[in-house]
Amino acid sequence: MDQVKISPKFQVVIPKAVRESLGLVAGQRLQVVPYGNRIELVPVSDIGEMRGCVAGIDTSLEREPDRRL
């Protein structure tokens, strides 16, 4: 497991192996999420990249009577 050090400006460098495995590039935005006693960095996707991500999803779920159309 890689470790990083926080700089005096509170910056960290994401290790090369992690950047490459996740396909991260310079200038890409990450969302910072505090979760319990850890920090998660989640890549922000362009909304255009999300197109078709739920294609083929089963929409035949039974809904509550007050939620039916």
40 three-state secondary structure? strand
Identify the band that residue 4 occupies on the pLDDT scale cut at 50, 70 and 90.
very high
Task: Please give the Cα distance from 69 to 67 (Å, whole number).
Answer: 7
Q: What percent of the chain has pLDDT over 90?
A: 58
**The pTM is what?**
0.61
Task: Please give the Cα distance from 6 to 17 (Å, whole number).
Answer: 18
User: Positive or negative CA dihedral for 40, 46, 48, 49?
Assistant: negative
Q: Is 24 exposed, middle or buried (0-12, 13-18, 19+ CB in 10 A)?
A: middle
Give the tens place of pLDDT for each residue, 36-67: 999 999 999 878 877 888 888 888 888 888 87
